[in-house]
Amino acid sequence: MKKYIAIGHFKGSKNTVSVADITSSKSNFEADLRMNAFVAIAVLTEKTFNEIKVMDSMEIFEKVKKLTTNYRVWNEICDYIEQCMDIMEEKLANAQW
């Protein structure tokens, strides 16, 4: 079982939020998100998240470019990661089976 965290928004809302969970695969995690009306823009594993925690702004931007091909949201995702790192870390820590 792996921990995943997704950055995106719920349908009908444009507020960027993150959701974390433990599941057997990334595809299962994404399916659960869709069932709960969550639009995932970027999905990170716990390992990727831990790598991003120690990066500077430009390194985060380069990593985000690899996480999603939607160039229109790169800055939004980078801003969310930099401003809400502690919230995302707490959500990953609290993710339970």
For the whole prediction, is pTM greater than 0.85?
yes
Any residues with CB less than 8 A from the CB of 96 and at least 6 apart, and which?
22
Structure confidence at residue 68 (pLDDT)? 92
Any residues with CB less than 8 A from the CB of 33 and at least 6 apart, and which?
6, 8, 19, 39, 40
Question: Mean pLDDT per segment of 10 residues, for the chain of length 97 residues?
Answer: 96 95 95 96 95 95 94 95 96 87
Please give the biggest Cα pair distance in the chain: 34
Structure confidence at residue 96 (pLDDT)? 79
Domain ranges of the chain: 2-94
Structure confidence at residue 61 (pLDDT)? 96
Backbone dihedral angles phi then psi of residue 22, each to the nearest 5 degrees: -110, 130
CA atoms of 3 and 69, how far apart (whole Å):
22
CA atoms of 52 and 60, how far apart (whole Å):
6
